[in-house]
Structure 1
Amino acid sequence: MILFPNCKINLGLHVTNKRPDGFHDLETVFYPLPVNDALEAITHSELQFESSGIPVPGNAADNLCLKAFHLLKQDFPQLPALHIHLHKHIPIGAGLGGGSADAAFMLRLIDQKFQLGLTEAALLVYAAQLGSDCPFFIINKPCFATGRGEIIEPLTLDLSGYSFMLVHPGIHVNTGWAFKQLTPKAPAYALKEIIGQPVTTWKDVLVNDFEEAVFAAHPAIGKIKEQLYAAGAVYSAMSGSGSAVLGIFPKNKIADILWDASYRVFTIR
């Protein structure tokens, strides 16, 4: 069986509180976009994991896809071993949620392949054990997220009348470092109210709290945002803690932009 985990973008991102457990409370809107990995699993004599495409850092045994398998195996010991192949296309460490998507889609794949009959609520519980962003990819529709990102509320938000450009400059922004640069505070504007307004009104009020510090440390990322606006984007922002930057354009009106040859650029028309 093969599934195609997709990425997400953040529309607005506020860090509102430092929690006693060391994590931060935040609020954001997750929106799915069709930039995809490919995740395939077949029954095998022993559990194996391999990847292709963008190199996946770290020990393969620690991959979230394997962690998803082991998590379900605890409650469903009858699950057979799998040969898992992940083709990585979503940039890593870009604020696009690729690793979280892979983990959530692994849960969905196993549920479907072996007809476990898991409800969405059950899948959300499993996903939350794998990572803060993972529950979003179970629902995989526009959502307002709070807590660490795991408390999600579906939203009516349809941006199909726009085109998107995602630009990843290949710069690694350490998430822990990024959080340390912020002083948590209540947002100046109510995020859900802003999202309900026309996209053309978002520019000065729908903000990502990480941008100021990240742009100061990595001016090239801020420059991407400037270039997207100069090319006609109606809204642009960094996704997550970076380093990918999104631009929302009028439908089919994405201008040709001469990017650095090392950048990875995705257009969704």
Structure 2
Amino acid sequence: MFTYIDPGIRQRLADDGKLQRVDADGKPVSSDHEILPGTRSLSILGPIPLPLQLEGKHYQANWYASVRHTELSQVQELADELRERQGQQSFAVMSSSMAVNSVLVFGDPANWDNPLVRVHSSCLTGDVFGSQRCECGPQLSSAVERISTDPAGGMLIYMSGHEGRGIGLWAKAATYLLQDSGENTYEANRSLGLPDDSRDFSDAATLLKYFQGERPFRLLTNNPKKVADLSAEGLSGITRVKHVSGINDANRRYLAAKRDWGHELSPEDLCD
């Protein structure tokens, strides 16, 4: 991902209503609004019409890209400095410093009535490579199908900074080796001195507030902690909907560890 957008283009997108800035409660704020230290705002780019094809099925969604405004400001300052020094070749240092989250919107949010929502943590191995060591890829495809065909509409929020429950791809690779030596997914995290789950859902909560406001919604998840984390960010009216998909021999032990950790999975759910 390349994180820099020329200021003139940014203004044009803002004038066209394609670039919004919102506070932590999902309320629009002006571009010159001062954000106090310790507070948070997001910049949201879209809607961008996005035809999709997943597992041979076609869908139509509107894509929104989202990033924390404070990180955009830091990138802009660096870009100005590099331009002054004619350091164009150094712009690549900005290409991997920001977590750009995505929202896929199905239907018109203004007409949603208790929509179906999935907050999906990024998983390169599962979502892109098709790894069967987890259920992430099938969960992603299933969520798109379920949301896109639900009469109430809904959205999928894709959290790009959540690889390996927040530990990052490099550490995740190490945990796989530890799991192959006999540890489960949580024991492997602890062996590396890392938390069981270090994901931050505050940006997801802000995006939900922006698109859904205070209206109720249904959340596709087997993880009660995700509901608790979003509720702690001020969201209410959340109904958890079980989301089981992609069970196979390669991930059954992994899913059993998630069940023992607190995920709502029954013995029947872990059967093919």
Q: TM bucket by the smaller chain?
A: under 0.3
Report the structure, 1 or 2, having the larger strand content. Answer: 1
TM-score by length of 2: 0.27
TM-score (norm 1): 0.27
Q: Which has the higher contact order (CA 8 A, sep 6+)?
A: 1
Indicate the structure (1 or 2) with the bigger Cα radius of gyration.
Answer: 2
Q: Which has the higher helix share?
A: 2
